[in-house]
Structure 1
Amino acid sequence: MNSSRYSKFGYVGGIEYNNGAIDIIHNSEGYALKNGTTYVYHYNLIDHLGNVRATIKDSSRCRTA
């Protein structure tokens, strides 16, 4: 078996690991997704029943006039 073609995933609490490194961190407001050496936060908008209706990506590069 060629191990370079396969990834090892793990889950502990709200943290997802990919080949032993943290890949995604989940919490009650959304999740942080690894993007290179940093994490990009995504906020979940939920309805009154707790269902996710939309996810908004936090972008520090956005500027308002």
Structure 2
Amino acid sequence: MAKDSCLSRITTGFAAGGAVGTAFGAAYGTYDAFRRKIPGLIKIRHVGEVTLGFAATCGFFMGVGSLIRRN
């Protein structure tokens, strides 16, 4: 593949957005679990679901944004 191919730009954008979304999702998921007083091990599941949701959303939008952006 070329150095700046379409697929590599999308993949790089998705990875960057996923990393940022994971960080924010873990922080917000932890805060939200304690705020809602979710009991025991269900708290871990809640944090995981929120983290994956944030990572997927941010990754998607960063992937699309990096595709649209021109050099």
Structure number with higher helix proportion: 2
TM-score range, shorter chain: under 0.3
TM-score of the superposed pair, with normalisation by structure 1: 0.24
Q: Which has the higher contact order (CA 8 A, sep 6+)?
A: 2
Structure number with higher strand proportion: 1
